[in-house]
Amino acid sequence: MSGSAPNQRTRKVMVGNVSVGGGAPIAVQSMLCAPEMDAGANIEQVQRLAEAGCEIARMAVPRRESLAVFSKVCDASPIPIVADIHFDAKCAIEAAWRGAAALRINPGNIGGLDETDLVIAAARGAGIPIRIGVNAGSLQKDIASRTDLTLPQKLAASAVEYVRYFEDVKGFTDIVVSAKAHDVLTTVEAYRLLSQQIPEVALHIGVTEAGTALQGTVKSAAGLGILLAEGIGDTLRMSLTDDPVLEVRAAWALLASLGIRQRTPEIVSCPTCGRCKVDLISLANQVEERLRSVEKPIRVAVMGCVVNGPGEASDADVGVACGEGQGAVFAHGRIVRKVEEGKILDALMKEIESI
C-alpha cells in the first residue's frame, strides 16, 4: 500500500457503538434475509451473525407494517441494525425513531430531494448517520442518460452530487457512501473515483448482486481485495445468495488474507498431490469445522507431505505434516509429537488449545 490510506482521512461515523472511518478498523457487515414479519427468525439470524463476527447488520423495511418487527429486532440485537429503506420516506423517518442505528437510502428513489430533506431531519434528530447508497441499476435519469460518462463515472457523479447536497445545502455530514455494481471492474473504478473526489467521506464497499456462494465470494474478493489493498474502504459487505453467515466468514477471511484484520484462525493447507498418503481433504475440512469455535488470530497448517511441511509452513503457529498413515504435529516449525492418522485431528486441536 502506498501513501496515506484514504480511510485514515475519512470522517469517523458512529453506527451504534461501531466506529466507521477515521482510521477505525474496517467493519464487517451483512444483511438479514429472514421473512420481514417474523421477529423471531430475524433475531435468531442476527444472533448467529454476531457470533460469526458480524459487526453491523442491515434489515430491509419494505413497508410500514414491518416497522413493529424492525423495532423488536433492534431491541434484541447484540449489534447495531441499519434500516434499509426504498421508496418510502415516511418509513425511513419512523425507523429512525424505532431504534435504527443508521438509515440506508437511495435519494434517487426515496421520493426526490423534498422527501430526502425529511429523512435527513429525522436522522439528525435521532442522532444517527445515513448511508447514501447508489447502485448501477437505480441511477437518477439525468445522469444515467449521459453519453459522455462511463458507468463508473456516472456512479461516482451521482454519489458526489448527493454528498454535496447533504453537506453543503443541508449541513449534514454524518454520512457513509456506497456506489455498487455487479461488475467487478466497474465497482472498483467507481470507488477509486469516490476516494479521490470525496476523500473525507467514509465508504461502504461491496460488489452488489455478486452471485451464489462460490461466484459471489470470488467476485467480491477480487473487487474488494483490489480496493482494500489500495487503502479504499471503511466498512464492507460480501454479498452472497446464501446464508448471510457465509458473508461474514468470507469477509473475515478476506481481511485476514490481506493482513488487515484477523479474529479467527487462518488455515494454510496444501492442494494435495500424488505424494499425499492420508485423506487430507477430509482432514482439512474437519480442522476448519473445529476451528469455527476458536477465536484466536493464529495460523494453522495442514500439510499433506514433508515437501510442504513443516519447513514450508514454518511460519504457522501450529500445524501437521502428514506421512503414510501418520502425522507430525509441529509448532513454529518444530515437531512436538508424531501420531497415527486417526489421532491427528485431536492432537492438532490439543496443541491449538495450549496456545
- Check whether residue 88 and residue 157 sit in a common domain: yes
Question: What is the number of structural domains in the chain?
Answer: 2
- Check whether residue 335 and residue 276 sit in a common domain: yes
Residue 4: pLDDT above 50? no
Q: Of 231, 257, 283, which residue constitutes the final position of a domain? A: 257
Q: What is the pLDDT of residues 197-239, one digit of tens each?
A: 999 999 999 998 888 999 999 999 999 999 999 999 999 999 9
- Check whether residue 210 and residue 330 sit in a common domain: no
Q: Of 257, 289, 314, which residue constitutes the final position of a domain? A: 257
Q: Could you tell me the CATH number of the domain that includes residue 57?
A: 3.20.20.20
- Check whether residue 252 and residue 180 sit in a common domain: yes
Which residue range(s) make up the domain with 12?
A: 6-257
Q: Average pLDDT, stretch 152-178?
A: 96
Q: What is the pLDDT of residues 247-282, one digit of tens each?
A: 999 999 999 999 999 888 899 888 888 888 888 899
For residues 167 and 223, give the distance between their C-alpha atoms in angstroms, rounded to a whole number.
29
- Check whether residue 91 and residue 167 sit in a common domain: yes
Residue 8: pLDDT above 70? no
Q: What is the pLDDT of residues 84-133, one digit of tens each?
A: 999 999 999 999 999 999 999 998 888 889 999 999 999 999 999 999 99
Instruction: Name the average pLDDT for the chain.
Output: 91
DSSP 302: E
In the numeric block, which cell numbers belong to residue 22? 477515521
For residues 49 and 100, give the distance between their C-alpha atoms in angstroms, rounded to a whole number.
17
Residue 105 lies in a domain: yes
Residue 347 lies in a domain: yes
- Check whether residue 16 and residue 75 sit in a common domain: yes
- Check whether residue 209 and residue 315 sit in a common domain: no
Can you say whether the dihedral through the CA atoms of 130, 26, 21, 211 is positive or negative? Answer: negative
- For residues 207 and 187, the answer to whether their CB atoms sit within 8 Å is yes
Residue 240: pLDDT above 60? yes
Q: Of 203, 237, 257, which residue constitutes the final position of a domain? A: 257
Q: Could you tell me the CATH number of the domain that includes residue 291?
A: 3.30.413.10
- Check whether residue 156 and residue 232 sit in a common domain: yes
What is the model's pTM?
Answer: 0.90
- For residues 95 and 110, the answer to whether their CB atoms sit within 8 Å is no
Q: Which residue bears the cell 458526489?
A: 160
- Check whether residue 217 and residue 319 sit in a common domain: no
- Check whether residue 157 and residue 276 sit in a common domain: no
Q: Which residue bears the cell 484462525?
A: 265
